[in-house]
């Protein structure tokens, strides 16, 4: 077979071609000519779009790209090209994330959040989303004053910028010292507004609920959520229709509220029709969600204290008690009863499958002469 038509030959030519393109891009971005710098930044963006290897090879371009982020020296076209190149360099590369911040990129990027250019705003927000994934960068991004500006983007930015802003804030909220700064920026109304309009199974909804779960750990966060019209309802809707991760954050947020002050938050939560979603979670949620849902159901019943042995503290009894306490909400009560019946049915089916599996693993030597394993299944 001819060498140049072989797969290995094709791979070799591609590698050589890529390495030549990397070298050319590095030379261009280091040039003093504006046009060359722009061409270099665009080429770096192209090369690093999907290639982790190119991200490593082009990491030395970072200081030169950061130097292009100054509005007084470069037109918007150069700012956008440099920002997008840095964004691609940071994707899935922890070292580059840290190197970009160390090179002084945060100042200009945070400044772009206030730019009149919507494109620069969006690209800056996306950049902070990517950079905030690094634990090392979280306190530095906060110290650069990004949090209040991200909340402002969340309030009045473009749809894409809002989605990226809430994800960046969610990343930053994992650092405890950042939570108070986020709270002081009054983000809850904007988070609820975004949560109401986004698809409940989306990543945006997941990050909104993740952020809400963190914020309701503080009294100010709980007050803000319940004061916002439809705030609790938006969380309940995610609990019903969200992804598994979203539902876990949603039930976690409601549980945190109820545990902090049951008397204050029980009625607002019950009033939004949370019972059907909680019932479903006790059966179909993740193990963590199931546990949270069961705990919340116990807190939502009329009495938070354990019942006597004559009234076992089962999910069925808890829910029946809650349904009995709901006055004038026939639709909610009917739906809850239907969900309860379905939950019991699913529970019975799961128990039967468990018994059937036990029967299958019984070997002739293990099986008693009276075939108790078989009779146990058939007796159910």
What is residue 31's predicted lDDT score, i.e. its pLDDT? Answer: 96
243-288 pLDDT per residue, tens: 999 999 999 999 999 999 999 999 999 999 999 999 999 988 999 9
Q: What angle do CA 24, 27, 33 make, to 5 degrees?
A: 120
Distance CA 276, CA 330 (A): 13
Q: How far apart are CA 18 and CA 24, in angstroms?
A: 10
Q: Give the closest residue to 106 by CA, choosing from 48, 152, 136, 66.
A: 66
CB-count burial class (<10 Å; 0-12, 13-18, 19+) for 91: middle
Distance CA 345, CA 283 (A): 10
DSSP 31: S
DSSP class of residue 45?
H
Rg of the chain over all Cα atoms, to the nearest angstrom: 28
Q: What is the pLDDT of residue 355?
A: 56
Of 86, 4, 80, nearest to 45 by C-alpha is 86
Q: Which of 10-19, 116-125, 338-347, 357-366 has the lowest mean pLDDT?
A: 357-366
Neighbours of 347 (CB within 10 A): 14
Give the pLDDT score at 284. 87
Cβ neighbours around 136 below 10 Å, total: 12
Express each pLDDT in 214-244 by its tens digit.
Answer: 999 999 999 999 999 999 999 999 999 999 9
Cα gap 60→307, rounded to integer Å: 67
Q: End-to-end CA distance of the chain: give it in Å, rounded.
A: 69
- Secondary structure letter of residue 243 according to DSSP: -
The whole-angstrom separation of Cα 375 and Cα 359 is 9
Comparison of pLDDT for 174 and 345, the residue scoring more: 174
Q: How far apart are CA 350 and CA 335, in angstroms?
A: 22
3 state SS of 260: helix
215 against 311, higher pLDDT = 215
Cβ-based neighbour number of residue 32 at 10 Å: 6
């Amino acid at each position: 077979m001819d060498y140049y038509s072989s797969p290995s030959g094709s791979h070799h030519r591609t590698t050589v071609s890529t390495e030549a393109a990397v070298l050319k891009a590095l030379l261009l971005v280091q040039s003093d000519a504006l046009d060359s710098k722009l061409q270099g930044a665009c080429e770096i963006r192209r090369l690093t779009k999907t290639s982790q290897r190119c991200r490593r090879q082009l990491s030395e371009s970072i200081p030169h790209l950061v130097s292009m982020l100054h509005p007084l020296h470069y037109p918007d076209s150069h700012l956008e090209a440099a920002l997008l190149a840095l964004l691609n360099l940071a994707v899935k590369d922890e070292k580059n994330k840290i190197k970009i911040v160390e090179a002084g990129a945060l100042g200009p990027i945070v400044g772009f959040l206030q730019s009149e250019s919507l494109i620069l705003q969006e690209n800056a927000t996306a950049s902070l989303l990517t950079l905030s994934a690094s634990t090392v960068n979280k306190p530095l991004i906060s110290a650069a004053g990004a949090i209040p500006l991200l909340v402002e983007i969340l309030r009045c930015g473009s749809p894409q910028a809002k989605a990226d802003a809430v994800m960046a804030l969610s990343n930053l909220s994992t650092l405890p010292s950042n939570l108070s700064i986020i709270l002081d920026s009054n983000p809850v109304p904007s988070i609820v507004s975004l949560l109401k309009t986004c698809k409940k199974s989306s990543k945006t909804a997941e990050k909104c609920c993740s952020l809400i779960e963190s914020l309701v750990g503080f009294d100010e966060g709980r007050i803000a959520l319940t004061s916002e019209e439809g705030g609790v309802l938006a969380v309940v809707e995610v609990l019903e229709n969200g992804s598994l991760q979203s539902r876990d954050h949603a039930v976690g947020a409601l549980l945190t509220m109820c545990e902090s002050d049951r008397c204050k938050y029980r009625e607002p939560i019950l009033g939004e029709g949370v019972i059907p979603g909680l019932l479903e979670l006790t059966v179909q949620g993740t193990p963590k969600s199931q546990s949270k849902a069961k705990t919340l159901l116990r807190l939502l019943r009329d009495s938070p204290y354990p019942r006597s042995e004559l009234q076992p503290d089962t999910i069925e009894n808890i829910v029946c008690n809650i349904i009995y306490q709901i006055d004038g909400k026939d639709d909610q009560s009917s739906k809850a009863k239907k969900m309860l019946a379905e939950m019991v049915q699913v529970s019975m089916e799961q128990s039967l499958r468990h018994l059937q599996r036990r029967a299958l693993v019984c070997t002739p030597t293990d099986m008693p002469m009276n075939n108790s394993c078989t009779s146990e299944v058939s007796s159910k």
